[in-house]
């Protein structure tokens, strides 16, 4: 296990912008950064990163947290494995005791499979560079024009042409047969025989975005009719072909720098282009493009150019999957290479400058390309021409951007020699039908993640000069947010509203009527739990004692036999109350680094600010903070929760009164009315303390 001091060092070293930017393209917005969320199909930036708070947050799907939480979610790691990942990144030494046999036994299949694949990659590379038979594979790579540094960069290898060479080496190395089979490195037959899947093939490891080997592709060197040219790892717990792109690990920085991604078909296409100096290239590995692969590219750029062979199959391949790219809001271009050329052969004949110039000169916008291609193919056949025009209109209808879609409609109507209004009507009809189908299939609104940030004014976000909030002063925050200082204390407390349940935790909590009020108190506990609210001298010991925010909230509720009804909230309140007695306790730090994902994610949500200070505020004015009025704010929200309990009790008594209104229950009626009167008096007292001006009768 990792001790707390080491965890603290890792948390201090892990810069959230540094960590997230390895996987997401971030752009500065105010004092924060924004990018496309890596955890859902994000078409507009809703993933915000706050350097000041060292947390991230998606305001559409709700995912986020610290650097540890991000790595846990993105890399599918446990809490402690995510800490190890960050420790390695920042060169922090972790001293751990040796795991027991039982602890080794319960390690996840996923981790074991990744370990086996990492070993296999080293094994294949060792064979290629050091084994006598590896010269066969090296000869193939050299003939393809690959330099030694390129071979090492992509960790290429060779699998011996023997039935179970890898299997025997793995077993001798202590690796288990079950994980060799699960990763697809070996094939186990019913009779117990074991064969290496990739024997006699040159090996291409497939890396994740973070560089882990999750699969292999093997190309046969012998020309046999019954042997497949390429064999790939099967789907497994760590490898889903539809979510991986070959070369993405080596291309991600170049894609960001160029703000463009080249998409090719095979392993050697990627490697040859890299060697030629064009590194912003990935391959779909011969499969039709999938949503998962598109999301992977979309994290780094909106621009993609599809490179395919110039022959007829290459042209058809260029048309497959492009609609998905358009639907994702990407800008798509197509480049068809000269006849007889593919990206691999073309890259070997040209340097980076020549290749880049050729791309700029010959790449074509996809819709224009498709329109020219299909209309040329249709000729003067009116029926075929009508079908192809309908196909093109369906493609235009997928473009989400209104301006781009209108330009395509205008241009294509000229090219297709058809009235622009007819094209527009057909496009609108298709989009309307699609919208209706999506609405019918959509889940209930409370379960549906928003495609746009729920509150775009994450701390640091500053709207453009022309942006205003509907129905509000353009220099003020939206209605409902407490006005900026200076404001009379009574008015400030009266206008403050309890925090609403956060979207990220709504699906994980058992809701109660009191959750908004409880959440408001929990916010103070997480942010300021260690804050000293009162000091007093113990009469018995004559020692000075501190009452912290977390302790005060808990004791004030227990004084009236109350507590937080939401189990997670109650657990966090009790933990903070106890931890306040520990020297050096900082509530926000404690909860953000908590191994319980429920607590740490909720803490990250509560620390994330929904609003920021207006850029029009006076920099010379004194800005009041929560800490300046902590006592009033905490007491106000405690009263608000207690009032909510009283109002709920009043409603229950009123329901009982409705059911006992008869002469035989007069005594019970009088007792209920007496209780109701007493509760209304308590409610008036709370209302007075809370600053309400109007008291409604129940």
Q: For 457-479, what is the mean pLDDT?
A: 34
99, pLDDT greater than 70: no
Q: Global pTM?
A: 0.59
Neighbouring residues of 35: CB distance < 8 A, sequence distance ≥ 6: 20, 24, 25, 26, 27, 45, 47, 49, 299
Neighbouring residues of 371: CB distance < 8 A, sequence distance ≥ 6: 392, 412, 415, 416
The overall average pLDDT reported for the chain is 78
3-state secondary structure of 28: strand
What is the rounded CA–CA span in Å between residue 178 and residue 522? 47
Q: Is 292 exposed, middle or buried (0-12, 13-18, 19+ CB in 10 A)?
A: middle
What is the rounded CA–CA span in Å between residue 25 and residue 35? 6
Report residue 600 as tokens. 């740490």
Report residue 500 as tokens. 């609403």
Q: Which residue has the higher pLDDT, 185 or 612?
A: 185
What is the rounded CA–CA span in Å between residue 591 and residue 49? 18
Q: For 101-128, what is the mean pLDDT?
A: 80
What is the rounded CA–CA span in Å between residue 669 and residue 664? 10
Angle (deg, nearest 10), helices 515-528 and 567-579: 30
271, pLDDT greater than 90: yes
Helix (H) or strand (E) holding 142: helix 134-143
- Yes or no: say if 360 and 352 are a contact pair by the CB < 8 Å rule: no
pLDDT of residue 320: 62
pLDDT of residue 147: 92
3-state secondary structure of 188: strand
Q: For 357-373, what is the mean pLDDT?
A: 83
488, pLDDT greater than 70: no
Q: For 200-222, what is the mean pLDDT?
A: 91
- The secondary structure of residue 44, as a DSSP letter, is S
Q: For 590-607, what is the mean pLDDT?
A: 81
Torsion of CA 569, 570, 574, 580, to 10 degrees: 30
pLDDT of residue 98: 61
Neighbouring residues of 659: CB distance < 8 A, sequence distance ≥ 6: none
Report residue 679 as tokens. 């509760």
Highest mean pLDDT among 304-308, 614-618, 623-627: 304-308
Report residue 507 as tokens. 């699906």
Report residue 568 as tokens. 């997670």
**Chosen CATH of 4-89 out of 3.40.1280.10, 3.30.450.20, 3.90.580.10, 1.10.1200.10:** 3.90.580.10
| Beta pairing, strands 27-29 & 532-537 | unpaired
What is the rounded CA–CA span in Å between residue 201 and residue 219? 5
pLDDT digits (tens, 9 = 90+) for 520-570: 888 889 888 888 888 777 777 777 788 888 888 888 888 888 888 888 888
What is the rounded CA–CA span in Å between residue 14 and residue 23? 15
Q: Which residue has the higher pLDDT, 621 or 451?
A: 621
Q: For 578-585, what is the mean pLDDT?
A: 81
Lowest pLDDT segment from 215-219, 503-507, 548-552: 503-507
What is the rounded CA–CA span in Å between residue 62 and residue 477? 22
pLDDT digits (tens, 9 = 90+) for 643-683: 888 888 888 888 777 777 555 567 777 777 788 888 777 77
Lowest pLDDT segment from 98-112, 293-307, 341-355, 423-437: 98-112
Residue 433 main-chain phi, psi, to 5 deg: -60, -40
276, pLDDT greater than 60: yes
Q: For 108-115, what is the mean pLDDT?
A: 83
The helix/strand count (H/E) of the chain reads as 30, 18
What is the rounded CA–CA span in Å between residue 649 and residue 647? 5
pLDDT of residue 213: 93
pLDDT of residue 274: 93
Residue 145 main-chain phi, psi, to 5 deg: 90, 15
pLDDT digits (tens, 9 = 90+) for 374-396: 777 777 777 878 888 888 888 88
465, pLDDT greater than 60: no
Q: What is the CATH number of domain 108-239?
A: 3.90.980.10
Q: For 174-184, what is the mean pLDDT?
A: 91
Q: For 328-349, what is the mean pLDDT?
A: 85
* Percentage of residues of the chain with pLDDT beyond 90: 18
Report CA 434 to chain centroid distance, whole Å: 26
Q: Which residue has the higher pLDDT, 661 or 6?
A: 6
Residue 182 main-chain phi, psi, to 5 deg: -65, -35
- Yes or no: say if 593 and 66 are a contact pair by the CB < 8 Å rule: yes
Torsion of CA 207, 209, 214, 218, to 10 degrees: -30
Residue 516 main-chain phi, psi, to 5 deg: -60, -40
pLDDT of residue 656: 78
What band does 487 get if pLDDT is binned at 50, 70 and 90?
very low
- Yes or no: say if 213 and 206 are a contact pair by the CB < 8 Å rule: yes
Domain spans in the chain, listed from the N-terminal domain onward: 4-89, 108-239, 248-440, 496-610+623-698
- Yes or no: say if 405 and 413 are a contact pair by the CB < 8 Å rule: no
Q: For 217-236, what is the mean pLDDT?
A: 85
What is the rounded CA–CA span in Å between residue 469 and residue 453? 15
- The secondary structure of residue 246, as a DSSP letter, is B
What is the rounded CA–CA span in Å between residue 689 and residue 697? 18
Rg (CA), the chain: 32
* Percentage of residues of the chain with pLDDT beyond 70: 80
141, pLDDT greater than 90: yes
Q: What is the CATH number of domain 248-440?
A: 3.40.1360.10
What is the rounded CA–CA span in Å between residue 690 and residue 498? 12
119, pLDDT greater than 90: yes
Q: For 31-39, what is the mean pLDDT?
A: 88
pLDDT of residue 102: 52
pLDDT of residue 240: 87
């Amino acid at each position: 296990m990792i001790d707390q001091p080491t965890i603290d060092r890792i948390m201090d070293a892990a810069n959230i912008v540094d960590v997230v930017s390895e996987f997401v393209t971030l752009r500065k917005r105010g004092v924060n950064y924004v990018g496309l969320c890596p955890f859902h199909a994000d078409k507009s930036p809703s993933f915000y990163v706050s350097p000041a708070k060292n947390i991230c947050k998606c305001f559409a799907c709700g995912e986020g947290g610290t650097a540890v939480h991000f790595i846990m979610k993105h890399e599918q790691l446990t809490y402690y494995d995510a800490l190890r990942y960050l420790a390695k990144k920042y060169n922090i030494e972790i001293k751990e005791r040796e795991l027991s046999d039982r602890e080794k036994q319960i390690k996840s299949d996923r981790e074991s499979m990744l370990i086996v694949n990492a070993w296999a990659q080293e094994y294949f590379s060792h064979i290629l560079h050091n084994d006598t038979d590896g010269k066969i594979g090296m000869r193939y790579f050299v003939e393809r024009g690959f330099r030694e540094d390129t071979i090492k960069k992509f960790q290429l290898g060779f699998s011996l042409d023997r039935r179970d060479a890898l299997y025997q080496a793995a077993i001798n190395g202590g690796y288990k047969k079950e994980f060799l089979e699960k990763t697809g490195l070996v094939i186990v037959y019913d009779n117990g025989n074991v064969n290496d899947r990739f024997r006699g093939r040159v090996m291409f490891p497939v890396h994740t975005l973070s560089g882990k080997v999750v699969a292999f592709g093997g190309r046969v060197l012998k020309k046999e009719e019954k042997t497949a040219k390429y064999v790939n790892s099967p789907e497994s717990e760590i490898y889903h072909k539809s979510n991986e792109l070959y070369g993405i690990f080596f291309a991600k920085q170049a894609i960001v720098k160029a703000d463009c991604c080249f998409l090719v078909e095979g392993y050697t296409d990627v490697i040859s282009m890299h060697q030629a100096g064009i590194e912003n290239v990935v391959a779909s590995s011969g499969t039709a493009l999938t949503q998962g692969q598109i999301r992977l590219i979309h994290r780094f750029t909106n621009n993609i150019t599809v490179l395919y062979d110039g022959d007829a199959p290459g042209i058809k391949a260029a048309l497959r999957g492009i609609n998905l790219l358009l639907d994702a809001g990407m800008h798509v271009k197509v480049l068809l290479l000269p006849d007889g050329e593919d990206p691999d052969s073309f890259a070997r004949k040209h340097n980076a400058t020549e290749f880049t110039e050729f791309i700029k000169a010959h790449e074509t916008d996809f819709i224009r390309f498709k329109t020219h291609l299909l209309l040329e193919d249709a000729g003067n056949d009116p029926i075929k021409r009508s079908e192809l025009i309908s196909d093109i209109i369906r493609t235009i209808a997928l473009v989400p951007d209104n301006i781009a879609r209108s330009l395509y409609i205008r241009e294509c109507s000229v090219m297709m020699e058809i009235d622009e209004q007819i094209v527009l009507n057909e496009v609108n009809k298709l989009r309307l039908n699609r919208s209706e189908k999506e609405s019918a299939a959509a889940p209930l609104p409370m379960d549906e993640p928003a495609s746009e940030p729920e509150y775009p004014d994450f701390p640091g976000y500053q709207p453009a000069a022309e942006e205003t909030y509907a129905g509000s002063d353009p220099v003020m925050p939206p209605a409902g947010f407490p006005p900026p200082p200076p404001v009379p204390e009574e008015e400030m407390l009266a206008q403050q509203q309890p925090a609403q349940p956060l979207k990220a935790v709504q699906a994980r909590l058992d809701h109660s009527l009191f959750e908004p009020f409880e959440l408001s108190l929990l916010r103070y506990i997480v942010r300021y739990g260690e804050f000293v609210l009162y000091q007093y001298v113990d009469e018995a010991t004559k020692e000075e004692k501190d009452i912290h925010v977390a302790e005060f909230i808990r004791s004030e509720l227990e004084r009236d036999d109350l507590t937080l009804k939401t189990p997670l909230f109650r657990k966090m309140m009790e933990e903070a109350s106890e931890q306040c007695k520990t020297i050096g306790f900082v509530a926000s730090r404690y909860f953000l680094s908590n191994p319980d994902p429920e607590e740490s994610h909720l803490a990250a949500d509560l620390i994330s600010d929904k609003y920021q200070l207006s850029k029009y505020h006076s920099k010379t004015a004194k800005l009041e903070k929560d800490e300046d009025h902590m006592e009033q704010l905490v007491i106000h929200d405690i009263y608000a929760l207690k009032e909510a309990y009283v109002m709920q009790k009043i409603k229950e008594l009123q329901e009982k009164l409705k059911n006992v209104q008869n002469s035989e229950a007069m005594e019970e009626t009088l007792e209920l009315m007496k209780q109701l009167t007493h509760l209304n008096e308590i409610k008036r007292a709370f209302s007075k303390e809370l600053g309400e001006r109007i008291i409604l009768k129940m």
